[in-house]
Structure 1
Amino acid sequence: MELGDKVKQRRTELGLSQGELAERMGYSSRSSINKIENGRAVSQKIIARLAEALNVSIPYLMSWEEEEDKQKCERGNLLSPERLQIHLNTVPVYDPISCGTGKWVDEQPVDYLGVPDTMVSKACHYFANPAYGDSMEPRILNGDYIVFEQTESIDPGCIGAFSLNGEYFCKRFKKLPDGSMWLFSENPRYDPIPIQRDDDFRVLGKYRMRMTEN
């Protein structure tokens, strides 16, 4: 099976659109993924990024070792750095962040996650939380590790980590034409959360990627 076919097959298995896979890889549009799936030749660096984004090994993508089919990430180390031949950046992991109705998060790391340097910028700081709840499905699943870029501001429409009156959420931030601000879920079963004028509201980070361990 050719590389493009492998990418399309694995993307479909994960329930990702071309645009969502492009977002995982830091592309601005789905056109790059479409070209790869249609047989465009890519560099070794892009193959490594594809393997990372799809949670598989490079040998699987290249059909070198079929017995390594769909190799999953392990907690703290998505893929072997020796296999990918890339550097892993250490990202602190904190207690679960709510993808539901709100949950406290301790301020001391409970673990560390290895994130390949092809997926993050050295100029930024990152942190991660396990997702707790299903309000951000299907984009983010319960138990996924969510990696955020640390920031104190975020553009409307972006997913981020937020503190609201002492509770911590992963939601999509929206500002409506009337000036009101809300935290929205991806799952339509959850009502949006209003941000009132006197609320203690802080932006903690901007969503960068999700990683799964199963």
Structure 2
Amino acid sequence: MKKIIKVNINVDLFYNFFSELQIMEEVDLKSFRLLLGEKIKLRREELGLSQAALGARMGSKDKQMISRYETEGANPTAYNLVQLANSLEFSVQELLDYETKIK
């Protein structure tokens, strides 16, 4: 039987990791969260998904969580970040790449 372990790492750690590797341009943490929320919204709309539909793709996450990510900025756990990327048909790297524009 497969055992799933939920890792509770939030976007702050990803921000620090990518900043140290200098993969990202200089951006403060608040802007990082807002950019991630914007990218989630743009990609969701590109795929023609409602917030509720994206939440369902993520495994019963509610519409309010998706709305909060999009409007207040996203700070998901690592587990939710992977679920978001998969649900948006992106890799985590594509989701966090702010240089690449959504079509």
TM-score of the pair, normalised by structure 2: 0.58
Question: Can you list the C-alpha shifts for 1:58-97, whole angstroms capped at 9, x where unaligned?
Answer: 1111116739x79xxxxxxxxxxxxxxxxxxxxxxxxxxx
Residue segments in structure 1 that go unaligned for 5+ positions in a row: 71-214
Q: CA deviation at 1:47?
A: 0.9
Question: Can you list the C-alpha shifts for 1:143-165, whole angstroms capped at 9, x where unaligned?
Answer: xxxxxxxxxxxxxxxxxxxxxxx
> Is residue 23 from structure 1 mapped to residue 56 from structure 2 by the alignment?
yes
CA contact (8 A) 2:37 2:70 kept: yes
- Flag the structure with more relative contact order, 1 or 2, with Cα contacts below 8 A and sequence separation at least 6: 2
The alignment's C-alpha RMSD in Å is: 2.3
- Whose helix proportion is higher, 1 or 2? 2
Equivalenced residue count is 69
Partners in 2 of 1:15 and 1:56 — Cα distance? 15
Residue segments in structure 2 that go unaligned for 5+ positions in a row: 1-33
Q: CA deviation at 1:28?
A: 4.9
- Whose strand proportion is higher, 1 or 2? 1
TM-score of the pair, normalised by structure 1: 0.29
> Is residue 12 from structure 1 mapped to residue 68 from structure 2 by the alignment?
no
Runs of 4+ off more than 3 Å: 64-67
Q: Determine the structure 2 residue equivalent to 1:46.
A: 80
2:96 pairs with one of 62, 65, 82: 62
Partners in 1 of 2:98 and 2:46 — Cα distance? 20
